[in-house]
């Protein structure tokens, strides 16, 4: 481990992050909403800490190794999550406990979108803007880390993406190619956000709401500036725009990059993960719409709109709402919820286990059945035309098992804090999948549950965002041994 380099990276990260506190500060001054001091203090603390960490080691030069990659990735969300909570904690109007401030910040940065605050419509605009921006920043982190760093770490079969990123990472060192890759993806991310904001604005949102919701849509975050979420606008046009951008943001950003460079949708059409994802969106939305219609929950048009919106929102793990979906006939909320375990494509801002892994698990389950009938046949697993190496297959199994086991353990812990079954089940599911809204006591917000539960859920959000292994590996003595 090269701690000097890790500290250098961390120091720079904190200083960059501190700069992101200036836009809400400026907004607060401009709107005169009396919150600029919170952002100023948070900026000063964050910048000073970053500088203090960076200065002693700013001359350190080492190539980063795989092991450093794990630590940096884990620190990215946990340390930024900590400092990101400062404005919430300092704000007198929010009157948030440390736990609540941290929960909101981690929920924002991990793009989970679970909130402990209510009465959003009456909060200062600068705070609202800051929450949305947190998600957007978290989204950048995911895109860059998922495409540039995670494949190198080889977590849960994500080596598969290695050859498919614009700037391939061929060895285990962080090369300058990553900077290129990151730049290209950052550009795509910004472009998509602008496009989304423009569409929302044309669809009828105010400029402020359009930008704020574009932030949390492209980041698959799910924070809103209104308690009623997208339902506030009560507009089929905005719902349709939102559905489209949630769907689009759930696709691997490397594909967006190719599509943009080649001015064609060919790459989307031939990508097996993207096809699997689109197929399930179609099938699932159809089931949802049909069920809503035939149970008489809504008429045809509302079934169509709410059904497809909510299904895409939950499957992609965005977590926007237009209706109280936890009050739909019991089958539907849970079906949607189980799809959130799949989530969007790898290399997107979506949570969940990722489409690629679920696809591989299905293929392998089917191969096991084939093997029972033809025990001596050699049956390769293919994604598109490529055979998947056994090593990747095993890594995906491992990921699935550890994901499920982590879910179970945290579910039991939440029950032990005294929450009921549906609340515990859905809260852990919504957190580990970075989905956001749950059911039971956490259907509307997370403000009323106990503090230990909030801490467990913070851990769950980080665990999900860090693809489980990145975080778990830090808890093994092996990792810290030379």
Annotated binding-site residues for K(+) read: 111-112, 220-221, 317-318, 434-435
Q: If contact means CB under 5 to 8 A according to the sort of partner, which of K ion, its own copies, none does residue 197 touch?
A: none
Q: Does 378 bind its own copies (CB under 8 A)?
A: no
Q: If contact means CB under 5 to 8 A according to the sort of partner, which of its own copies, K ion, none does residue 473 touch?
A: its own copies
User: With contacts defined by CB under 8 A, how many residues of the chain interact with its own copies?
Assistant: 52
3-state secondary structure of 282: helix
CB count in 10 Å sphere of residue 428: 28
- Binding-site residues sit at 111-112, 220-221, 317-318, 434-435
The one segment of 96-104, 135-143, 175-183, 410-418 that binds its own copies by CB under 8 A:
410-418
Q: If contact means CB under 5 to 8 A according to the sort of partner, which of K ion, its own copies, none does residue 319 touch?
A: K ion
Among 170, 173, 261, 371, binds its own copies (CB under 8 A): 371
Q: If contact means CB under 5 to 8 A according to the sort of partner, which of its own copies, K ion, none does residue 19 touch?
A: none
CB of 469 to its own copies, least distance (A): 6
Q: If contact means CB under 5 to 8 A according to the sort of partner, which of K ion, its own copies, none does residue 113 touch?
A: K ion
Which residues fall within 8 angstroms of residue 268, CB to CB, at 6 or more apart?
251, 255, 259, 274
CB 166 within 8 A of CB 180: yes
- Per the structure block, which two tokens stand in for 217? 């849509």
Q: Does 70 bind its own copies (CB under 8 A)?
A: yes
The one segment of 138-146, 248-256, 307-315, 412-420 that binds its own copies by CB under 8 A:
412-420
Among 67, 125, 162, 226, binds its own copies (CB under 8 A): 67
Greatest alpha-carbon pair distance for the chain in Å reads 74
Which residues fall within 8 angstroms of residue 121, CB to CB, at 6 or more apart?
225, 226, 227, 232
CA distances from 303 to 204, 291, 475 (A): 22, 9, 46
CB of 217 to K ion, least distance (A): 10
Q: If contact means CB under 5 to 8 A according to the sort of partner, which of K ion, its own copies, none does residue 436 touch?
A: K ion
Q: If contact means CB under 5 to 8 A according to the sort of partner, which of K ion, its own copies, none does residue 222 touch?
A: K ion
Q: To 5 degrees, how large is the angle CA 130–CA 180–CA 7?
A: 60
The one segment of 129-137, 191-199, 258-266, 360-368 that binds its own copies by CB under 8 A:
360-368
Rg of the Cα atoms in the chain: 22
CB count in 10 Å sphere of residue 421: 11
Query: Which residue lies nearer to K ion by CB, 139 or 436?
Result: 436
Which residues fall within 8 angstroms of residue 125, CB to CB, at 6 or more apart?
27, 28, 31, 33, 208, 225
Q: Which of 327, 330, 360 is nearest to 342 (CA)?
A: 360
The helix-helix angle for 451-465 and 390-416 (nearest 10°) equals 170
Q: Does 153 bind its own copies (CB under 8 A)?
A: yes
Residue corresponding to tokens 């909101």: 104
Q: Which of 315, 316, 320 is nearest to 349 (CA)?
A: 316
Q: Does 334 bind its own copies (CB under 8 A)?
A: yes
What are residue 386's phi and psi, to 5 degrees? Answer: -95, 135
Q: If contact means CB under 5 to 8 A according to the sort of partner, which of its own copies, K ion, none does residue 370 touch?
A: its own copies
Among 61, 171, 176, 372, binds its own copies (CB under 8 A): 372
Query: Which residue lies nearer to K ion by CB, 99 or 216?
Result: 216
CB count in 10 Å sphere of residue 14: 23
Among 416, 448, 450, 451, binds its own copies (CB under 8 A): 416
CA distances from 250 to 21, 146, 221, 295 (A): 27, 13, 11, 30
Query: Which residue lies nearer to K ion by CB, 252 or 318?
Result: 318
The one segment of 209-217, 220-228, 244-252, 333-341 that binds its own copies by CB under 8 A:
333-341
Among 95, 375, 385, 482, binds its own copies (CB under 8 A): 375
Q: If contact means CB under 5 to 8 A according to the sort of partner, which of K ion, its own copies, none does residue 269 touch?
A: none
Q: Does 262 bind its own copies (CB under 8 A)?
A: no
Sequence-ordered strand ranges (E) for 86-200: none
What is the spatial distance between Cα 311 and Cα 284, in angstroms, rounded to a whole number? 7
Sequence-ordered strand ranges (E) for 306-428: 382-383, 386-387
List interacting residues with K ion (CB under 5 A): 113, 222, 317, 319, 436
Q: Does 369 bind its own copies (CB under 8 A)?
A: yes
> Which residues form the interface with its own copies (CB under 8 A)?
66-67, 70, 153-156, 172, 330-331, 334-335, 338, 361, 364-365, 367-373, 375, 390, 393-395, 397-402, 404-405, 408, 411-412, 415-416, 418, 420-422, 425, 469, 472-473, 476, 478-479
């Amino acid at each position: 481990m090269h701690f000097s380099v890790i500290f250098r990276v961390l120091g720079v990260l904190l200083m960059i992050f501190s700069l992101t506190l200036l836009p809400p500060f400026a907004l607060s001054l401009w709107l005169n909403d009396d919150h600029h001091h919170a952002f100023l203090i948070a900026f000063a603390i964050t910048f000073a800490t970053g500088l203090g960490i960076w200065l002693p080691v700013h001359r350190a030069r080492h190539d980063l190794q795989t092991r450093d990659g794990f630590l940096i990735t884990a620190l990215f969300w946990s340390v930024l999550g900590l400092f990101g909570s400062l404005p919430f904690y300092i704000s007198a109007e929010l009157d948030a406990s440390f736990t609540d401030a941290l929960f909101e910040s981690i929920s924002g940065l991990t793009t989970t979108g679970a909130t402990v605050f209510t009465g959003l419509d009456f909060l200062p605009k600068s705070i609202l803007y800051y929450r949305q921006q947190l998600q957007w920043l978290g989204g950048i982190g995911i895109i860059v880390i998922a495409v540039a760093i995670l494949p190198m770490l080889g977590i849960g079969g994500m080596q598969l993406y290695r050859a498919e990123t614009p700037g391939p990472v061929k060895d285990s060192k962080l090369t300058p190619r990553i900077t290129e890759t990151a730049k290209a993806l950052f550009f795509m991310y910004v472009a998509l956000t602008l496009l989304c904001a423009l569409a929302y604005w044309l669809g009828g949102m105010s400029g402020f709401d359009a930008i704020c919701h574009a932030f949390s849509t492209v980041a698959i975050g799910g924070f809103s500036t209104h308690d009623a979420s997208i339902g506030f606008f009560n507009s089929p046009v905005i719902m349709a725009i939102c559905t489209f951008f949630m769907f689009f943001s759930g696709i691997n950003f490397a594909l967006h990059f190719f599509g943009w460079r080649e001015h064609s949708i060919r790459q989307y059409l031939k990508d097996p993960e993207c096809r699997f994802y689109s197929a399930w969106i179609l099938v699932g939305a159809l089931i949802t719409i049909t069920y809503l219609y035939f149970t008489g929950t809504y008429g045809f048009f509302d079934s169509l709109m709410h059904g497809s919106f909510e299904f895409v929102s939950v499957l992609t793990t965005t977590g926007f709402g237009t209706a109280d979906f936890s009050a739909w006939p019991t089958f539907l909320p849970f079906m949607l919820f189980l799809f959130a375990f799949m989530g969007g494509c790898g290399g997107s801002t979506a949570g969940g286990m990722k489409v690629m892994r679920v696809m591989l698990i299905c293929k392998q389950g089917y191969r096991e059945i084939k093997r029972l009938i033809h025990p001596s046949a050699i049956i390769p697993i293919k994604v598109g035309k490529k055979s998947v190496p056994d090593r990747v297959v095993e890594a995906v199994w491992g990921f699935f098992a550890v994901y499920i086991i982590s879910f179970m353990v945290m579910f039991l812990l939440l029950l032990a804090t005294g929450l009921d079954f549906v609340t515990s089940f859905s809260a852990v599911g919504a957190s580990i999948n970075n989905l956001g809204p749950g059911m039971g006591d956490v259907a509307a917000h997370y403000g009323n549950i106990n503090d230990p539960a909030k801490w467990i859920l913070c851990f769950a959000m980080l665990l999900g965002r860090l693809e489980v292994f990145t975080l778990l590996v830090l808890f093994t003595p092996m990792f810290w041994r030379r």
